[in-house]
Amino acid sequence: MDIREGAAADAGPIAALHTRSWRTAYAGIFPADYLEGPVEEQQAAMWHERLVNGAKGELLVADDGTSIAGFAYLIPEDGRVLLDNLHVDPALKRSGIGGVLLRQALDRAAGQELYLEVLKENRPAIAFYERHGATRARQFVERFPGFEVDVLEYYWSGIRSDTVPRRSSQAS
């Protein structure tokens, strides 16, 4: 598995993977009509803006040579770095790709605080972040068109990737 920097040509495949990931991970959390409806167009527009139009941020792509297996998107802020997205192809979950991307994100944060927001009901993601040393900071409500969800913020402060726990097997 190669981790590379994303490029404009990745916008479509990243949007498609992001949509598949949301439809799998957020089923039962987000309304079905939202997941089957506007989310696909919203992801396509967001990734076009980020990668084609050059929005601020850095895309890390886990590429197996034939397809994109996962990705992470980092947005630098004042003294912090937002890990805005970390998604792995649903068929490849629990293969170690997420841990590799997280360690790369920590390295790219270069000692700054790295933080993310995760849906409170997304228990598998919360377990993943806690297993990898994240600290819970706060809870808030995020509003979407027609619904709202509880969100948790987690962070890593001054941590190096070599201190993050690794899986003993399948750590590609």
What residue segments make up the domains of the chain, in order of their start? 2-156
pLDDT band for position 161 (50/70/90)? low
Spatial neighbors of 107 by CB under 8 A, at least 6 apart, are 160, 161
pLDDT in tens, 79-101: 899 999 999 999 888 889 999 99
pLDDT in tens, 114-158: 999 999 999 999 999 999 999 999 999 999 989 999 999 999 986
The answer to whether the beta carbons of residues 50 and 73 sit under 8 Å apart is yes
Amino acid at residue number 115: Y
CATH number, domain 2-156:
3.40.630.30
**Cα separations in angstroms, 38 against 51, 86, 99:** 20, 21, 30
Would you say the pTM of this structure is higher than 0.85?
yes
pLDDT of residue 89: 94
Spatial neighbors of 60 by CB under 8 A, at least 6 apart, are 3, 4, 5, 6, 71, 72, 73, 74, 101, 104, 105, 108
pLDDT, mean over the chain: 90
> In whole angstroms, what is the distance from residue 129 CA to residue 31 CA?
25
